[in-house]
A = this chain, B = another copy of it.
Amino acid sequence: MTSDEARVRALDLLNTAGFAFLGTNGPDGVPWIKAMFKMENEGLERVFFSTNMSSKRVAMIADDGRASVYVAETGSFRGLLLLGTAEVQADRDARERIWREGFERYYPLGINDPDYSVIVFNAQRANYYEMLANVTFNIP
């Protein structure tokens, strides 16, 4: 598999993923993993999640922004690991972009609820595998 083919296959996998696994550096340098709804993505460059400002992950990202996003189809032995950094955004643009109908259930104060925030993951490198093919490439 060429690097160009891997980019196409990787993007297809990320675009169709309903959730993704976010990796962050925990307090003792132990990697934490959490399944999160993948709200949006911009190509392979950026992935957006919603989160609670009070969550463990927001504190971890504030301490250490190094992070990863992983999506996999375990049945067909396909997986994409994006390596990069994560940041927490709570400005109006980020809130509006990710807000969905029904979020009032989690954030009763609405789009300006102080506990509502957005995690933006920025990818720098990628590793895509499918069966025995395994390709690493830079982003973009």
Interface of A toward B, CB cutoff 8 Å: 18-19, 21, 23-26, 28-35, 64, 66-68, 70, 72, 74, 79, 81, 83-84
Q: Can you list 29 A-B contacts (CB < 8 A)?
A: A18-B74, A21-B33, A21-B70, A23-B30, A23-B31, A24-B31, A25-B25, A25-B31, A26-B68, A28-B83, A29-B64, A29-B66, A30-B66, A30-B67, A30-B68, A30-B84, A31-B31, A31-B32, A31-B33, A31-B66, A31-B67, A31-B68, A32-B68, A33-B33, A33-B81, A34-B79, A35-B70, A35-B74, A35-B79
In the assembled complex, the CB of A28 is this many whole angstroms from the nearest CB of chain B, namely: 7
A34, B71: Cα distance in complex, Å: 9
The main secondary structure of chain A at its interface with chain B is strand
Flag if B81 contacts A32 (CB, 8 Å). Answer: yes
Give the number of times this chain occurs in the complex, counting copies. 2
Flag if B81 contacts A28 (CB, 8 Å). Answer: no
> Which residues of the other chain, B, contact A68 by a CB distance below 8 angstroms?
26, 30-33
Flag if A32 contacts B28 (CB, 8 Å). Answer: no
